[in-house]
Structure 1
Amino acid sequence: MSWWKRLFKGYGSKSSHRNGKTAVPQESPLDSGLERVLRQVSDLLGENDDLVIRRFSLFGQREAALIYFSTLVQKERIHQDILKPLMRIPAENEEVPLTQEGVLREILHYGKYQVTDQLPDVLEEILRGSTVVLVDGFPQGILLETRDVEKRSISEPQSERAVRGSREGFIEQLDANLSLLRYRLPNPDLTVKTFTVGTKTRSKVAYCYMRDVAQPALVREVEDRLQAIEIDGVLESGYLEQFIQDHHLSPFPQVANTERPDVVVSGLLEGRVIILMEGSPFVLMVPVVFAQFYQTLDDYTERFLIGSLIRLIRVLAILSSLFFPAIYVSLVSFHPELIPTDFAVAVAGGRAGVPFPAIAEVLFVEISMEILREASVRLPQQVGSAFSIIGILVVGQAAVDAGFASPITVVIVALTTIGSFAAPAYNVSISFRMLRFPILVLAGIFGLYGVMVGAVMIANHMLSLRSFGVPYLTPFSPENRRGWLDTLIRAPFWMLRRRPAFLHPLQRQRLGTIRKLKKEPSNTLDPMKAGNERREPRDGV
């Protein structure tokens, strides 16, 4: 049940008062009397200094009024395009249209407007920045789009940097974000549906999909989950993510978020559903699999050999950030015989003055590093980067000098921290940072056996996860060998002929059957050729 229907519920033929405000029924037609309508609007919207009710005479013959919030509209447009033509005094022999259809057709030259005879629609549009024209004797109100809210310019996303690619990112305005998608995907099959979420905030939410690609069952499921959200306020798309995900207690994200329009377009072309929200620059994509969180746009803009190498390095860095400290603690505390002799002597010499066991030493440095990282995030940008570098150097050196940690421990933790930054998705990086501590405790108690137990538990948990019904470890489990071409490595484009099978797209094929020239290419500028024009091989030199 929507906000206005709840507000207007319970109002009958007699007016009722709740909390000092007059309620109206769910289906409340506008009264033809101007004074009664203005009284109802004033009672429901309350006393606000930015609420403007401008009375005037329509062509000097009939009483009328404009209603709008001055903080949400473009005032110059109201004065020039609405008030000026409506308040004009007609010439002596001029016939003026005193009907609603005549005013819309001959006087108001507006591209976006709507007409309604319901009071709830009038109130909601006023709160969204529209201007309402009410005329005494007209049974309907004219809603004109005059919204003008300050917004920041489109700039490069701060959370997702690309070496090669677009420099445009989403902003907080929903219409601007939709225009970025339409600009990159001028296709009639791109479908946009909008509705509101939040009984108090009335946040505007839109979901998009390709009508000829996306699975209709997936679109219906997304719509049902979004429509089922009942909360008083939605301030960011992260609220929606927590409501629509499948497993609420899992540390791993089951909904992807991005600030890049090109990433969103690639998801639409694969058959995913995109969720945008007014007031948030982060766009949600569903469904997702784990392999998607370590892939970036740079993997596809570069040649496949370079993209595959960079992706493999990224995967190794992410895994090392999870297991590296635990393996170090296991080897030092339980399995020193597995360490080469020379290196074991160096480790023992470094830890000679440390009075704590390896597990306590690593935990101390890890917790200190997490505190420094969190503090640097909350500081201003100009100070945060310098503070993080200086803080790590000073605290690390001081810990070594004071005997709280050994140099090798500081190096291990530093490499682990750097490896966690290799994860493109910030939410996955946080998940691995959180799981690092229980694995570290298991390693301190059971050694390498504890590391293996932790790894098996994490793998079993990931095998049980679903994202809108899609197994989280697809295409590894369930097995899909064709999907392996775009997981740990990125195969050439001519091998990625089909869209991901786990999305069940309506159009499986995305690459044409003709993948090479019908004739062999002719190098016309080759110095061994007889000229610089295209010739047949038999022409010779």
Structure 2
Amino acid sequence: MSTSASLGTFEDKIAYIEGKCGDNGDFSARRFQVFGRYPAALFGFSNMINPEMLNTNVLRPLMYRPLQLDDVDDLPPERLRDVLINDSLFFSQAKIEEAPDRWISGLVHGQSVVVIDGLEGAIVVETRHIEKRGIEQPLTEQVIRGPREGFIEMLGTNLSLIRYRLQTPEFRVHTMEIGRRTHSSVAICHIDGITNPELVNEVKRRLSKIDVDGVLDSGYLEQYIEDNHITPFPQVQYTERPDKVVANLLEGRVAILVDGSPLALIVPTVFSQFYQTVEDYTERFLLMSAIRMARLVALMFSLVFPSLYVSIISFNPELIPTEFAVAVAGGRAGVPFPAVVEVLIMEISMEVLREATIRLPQQVGGALSIVGVLVIGQAAVSAGFASPITVVIIALTTIGSFATPAYNAALALRLLRFPLVIMAGIFGLYGVMIGLILIANHMLSLKSFGIPYLSPLIPGNFQGLKDLLIRGPLWWMKKRPAFLQTIDRDRLGSNTPPEREARNVLDPQKIKNKQER
């Protein structure tokens, strides 16, 4: 029985619902009479609904006739329908659904279904109430200067956090359900009048083509909608900070949120976003430009430093100053492995140690990291297993990878270190340069929703270069990123220059001269 016509009688409807959901320990069914004369039944999953709300705002109003209808003896079915929705139920989210599959969908989403004898269809009432964790500081993105609020698993709460910071009627939210089994709610967010409509349509098209059993996290969607699936570089940015989502929406991007996931996806994405942070724009530009440059140095440091060390030690030791070369040779005197094998062993050991630190309970993880770095490193040097300079190189490389704000981008650089080290051990500095050229060529071939991955560097854009290597003053960046092809290009008014002529209203000398007059 799948159509409303085949469920004509009251008992047929009850049998249909109980046949679909009745074989569950937390499924509840309650028979009663509407206004004391119309047989009815209430269904719901007890662990997903608010019982107090259900008793007070659903059962009680349905059992007792409204005062304005005391003089009416009989209500025809068409009149009963309007009375229940408009006069009895104390719910703004109560509607009559004709399709039986919508009843089942509402039940598994935490809604309650009321079936009444003589009433076509059934009443679906929004009574969902699921325990959730509080809004806390983001765990994956540390906040130095900015809001201490992060997304949680509830989609409605996450959308409210975005609307709180984006109080404009142009903010648009489109929802869809993905997953044959989970029926996960997915929200597509953008700003009407800024975001290119073709981008929004393309995001909807890619999401609508996903046909999978379940979507448990936003990371599932990321793997389906990215342009290139065989690359270590992420083409979709994720964040659990509402202010970061709002900042990207104002630039003309699209945000994707999934019910049950605290991480929002942001598309399209270019590589420069992975070494930028929200704090870059909340502090003054001179300081944050220096910090960003240090972050970029650490990023390159974590990628090429081990391979440079291997190539110089193995093929070009003449590039090292004499005094330093003697110290390095003395440290490596008792090491039985060539430099490339030694670095690979230490790198793999560090990756295993880092993964173990992440997976262990928080109370033990910190202690393990200290023990691993100090004790194991010192023991390896003392046993002649590794040279002191190698331990220093690996430690500096690991610290440099921690300076990359985005975990997925840092992971890509960590993986690319290994082929670079192998090529350095085989071809020396030539191998390092060939590896870097291949990486650069691969990044040039990547696109995110049609946008070149290295924008605004390639293709070059003067406005975008103001926020690439350094963070220019806010009043320099009057236009939104050109590669996003936004409808409204201007984000800074023409009459909003910085204060050039300071009015020293409290200058002591001026006040003294004024008083003497």
2:376 aligned with 1:400 = no
> Which residue does the alignment assign to 1:229?
210
Q: How many residues align?
A: 512
Which of the numbers 480, 491, 500 marks the counterpart of 1:499?
Answer: 480
Whole-angstrom CA distance in 1 between matches of 2:407 and 2:66 = 64
SS in 2 for 1:274: strand
> Which residue does the alignment assign to 2:109?
128
Which of the numbers 403, 406, 409 marks the counterpart of 1:428?
Answer: 409
> Which residue does the alignment assign to 1:409?
390
| Structure 1 contact 97–103 (Cα < 8 Å) conserved | no
Q: TM-score, length-normalised on structure 2?
A: 0.96
SS in 2 for 1:462: helix
| Structure 2 contact 136–149 (Cα < 8 Å) conserved | yes
Which of the numbers 222, 232, 245 marks the counterpart of 1:241?
Answer: 222
CA apart distance, 1:518: 9.2
Whole-angstrom CA distance in 2 between matches of 1:471 and 1:301 = 28
Give the direction of change, closer, same or farther, for the CA distance of 1:270–1:517 in structure 2 (3 Å limit): closer
Aligned 1:347-496 pairs, distance under 5 A: 347-496=328-477
Which of the numbers 64, 86, 90 marks the counterpart of 1:88?
Answer: 64
CA apart distance, 1:29: 4.7
SS in 1 for 2:393: helix
CA RMSD, Structure 1 to Structure 2 (Å):
1.8
CA apart distance, 1:95: 3.3
Which of the numbers 33, 38, 44 marks the counterpart of 1:62?
Answer: 38
Q: 1:347-372 deviations in whole A, cap 9, x for unaligned?
A: 00111111111111111111111110
Q: 1:100-151 deviations in whole A, cap 9, x for unaligned?
A: 1112222112121222111111110111011111110000211111000010
Report which stretch shifted further, 265-274 or 391-400.
Answer: 391-400
SS in 2 for 1:528: helix
Report the residue type matching 1:350 in the other structure: G
Report the residue type matching 1:71 in the other structure: N
Whole-angstrom CA distance in 1 between matches of 2:5 and 2:370 = 64
2:127 aligned with 1:146 = yes
2:285 aligned with 1:300 = no
Report the residue type matching 2:178 in the other structure: V
Whole-angstrom CA distance in 2 between matches of 1:267 and 1:519 = 29
| Structure 1 contact 28–120 (Cα < 8 Å) conserved | no
Whole-angstrom CA distance in 2 between matches of 1:90 and 1:210 = 44
CA apart distance, 1:415: 0.2
> Which residue does the alignment assign to 1:527?
508
| Structure 1 contact 90–96 (Cα < 8 Å) conserved | no
2:247 aligned with 1:260 = no
Report the residue type matching 1:60 in the other structure: G
Whole-angstrom CA distance in 2 between matches of 1:486 and 1:97 = 72
Whole-angstrom CA distance in 2 between matches of 1:249 and 1:159 = 25
Give the direction of change, closer, same or farther, for the CA distance of 1:96–1:380 in structure 2 (3 Å limit): farther
Whole-angstrom CA distance in 2 between matches of 1:106 and 1:232 = 41
SS in 2 for 1:530: helix
> Which residue does the alignment assign to 1:188?
169
Q: 1:172-229 deviations in whole A, cap 9, x for unaligned?
A: 0000000000101011000000011110111111110001100000000000000000
Which of the numbers 70, 80, 85 marks the counterpart of 1:104?
Answer: 85
Report the residue type matching 1:471 in the other structure: P
Q: 1:256-314 deviations in whole A, cap 9, x for unaligned?
A: 00000000000000000000001100100000100111000111111000110000000
| Structure 2 contact 227–447 (Cα < 8 Å) conserved | yes
